[in-house]
Structure 1
Amino acid sequence: MSNSKEPKVTGIGGIFFFSDNVQETKDWYSKNLGFNTDQWGATFASRNINKPDEVNYLQWSPFQSDTKYFEPSKKEFMINYRVQNLDALLVKLKENNVEILGEVQSYDYGRFVHIIDPEGNKIELWEPIDDELVK
């Protein structure tokens, strides 16, 4: 079992990508692959292998291709990583001169911050509060 205090990625929290027609894309995935979509896309639940009573969530979301949300990245996708101990991870990232975009944003379901990798990919880091997503 991993140390819950160690600052690191623990899994994938979301897959976000450009779409020329978000509703048609969601409809296609729903019709052909059985996705249960809503206004944001689709949410997938799974059990945490290290804590079987804990349910984790992955968000799949098409974004309108003219969105500014992925900027400054020029890529057509963004991955959200689930992390533990976001504050300590940010210290580590700063020590390693990783570009951090903006400040940490807090919501009922967790805390978020964005970084840029060496290839120019914008990455969303999410320290989830999974209990809030169950409600």
Structure 2
Amino acid sequence: MNKIIILITGLLASFCFGFAARSIIVKPINSNTINMKKVTGIGGIFFKCKDPKAVNEWYKTHLGFDTSPYGTSFEWRDMEDSTKKGLTQWNPFAETTKYFEPSTKEFMINYRVENLEALVEQLKHEGVTIVDKIEDSEYGKFVHIMDIEGNKIELWEPK
């Protein structure tokens, strides 16, 4: 009987010690990171083509796109607050563009995000390749990252 009590006491002590050690050693997860929105939507679709001007004209003629030399912008309203407008950009690039580098792919997707600085810090911590520094422009903040297959991704926090 004493052996059983000693065994149970030992197991209970081991469990409690393990739980206490885990609480001390394991870094707690930042609750802001868990709740942080990452991507909130698609900000744009960019792709390479032989003749961007001809592609713009084709989409204008056959699909009714309101194109400019920079493609077209699709305007939409926020689902939660219909007073907020958003844009999704569609843009053909010359096949010789360097803008997609270091990716060798024919396309690049722009994702809308909230709090770009915090997201970049989190991505760095997770080992994601950050291609450049955050750029602040009249359209908002931009940065480029690479996914695991070598696709360059543009992250955009609109103003």
TM more than 0.5: yes
Tell me the secondary structure at the aligned position of residue 81 of structure 1.
Answer: strand
Counterpart of 1:30 in structure 2 is 60
Tell me the secondary structure at the aligned position of residue 52 of structure 1.
Answer: coil
Counterpart of 1:88 in structure 2 is 118
Greater share of residues in helix: 2
Cα-Cα RMSD: 1.3
CA distance in 2, matches of 1:114, 1:105: 10
* Of 144, 148, 156, the match for 1:114: 144
Please state how far the C-alpha of 1:31 moved relative to its aligned partner: 0.2
Q: Is the radius of gyration larger for structure 1 or structure 2?
A: 2
* Of 49, 54, 77, the match for 2:107: 77
Q: Is 1:40 equivalent to 2:54 in the alignment?
A: no
Question: Deviating runs (4+, > 4 A) in structure 1?
Answer: none
CA distance in 1, matches of 2:139, 2:97: 23
Once the two structures are superposed, residues 28-84 of structure 1 have per-residue CA deviations (whole angstroms, 9 ceiling, x without a partner) of: 000000000011000000011122110000010000001000001010000000000
CA distance in 2, matches of 1:98, 1:51: 32
Please state how far the C-alpha of 1:6 moved relative to its aligned partner: 2.2
Greater share of residues in strand: 1
State the percentage of identical aligned residues: 52
Output the TM-score relative to the length of structure 1.
Answer: 0.90
Q: Number of aligned residue pairs: give it.
A: 126
CA distance in 2, matches of 1:58, 1:94: 26
Segments of structure 2 that go 5 or more residues without pairing to the other structure are 1-31
Tell me the secondary structure at the aligned position of residue 70 of structure 2.
Answer: coil
Counterpart of 1:57 in structure 2 is 87
Please state how far the C-alpha of 1:15 moved relative to its aligned partner: 0.2
Confirm or deny: 8 A CA contact 1:7 1:86 kept in the other structure.
Answer: no
Output the TM-score relative to the length of structure 2.
Answer: 0.77
Segments of structure 1 that go 5 or more residues without pairing to the other structure are 130-135
CA distance in 2, matches of 1:76, 1:51: 35
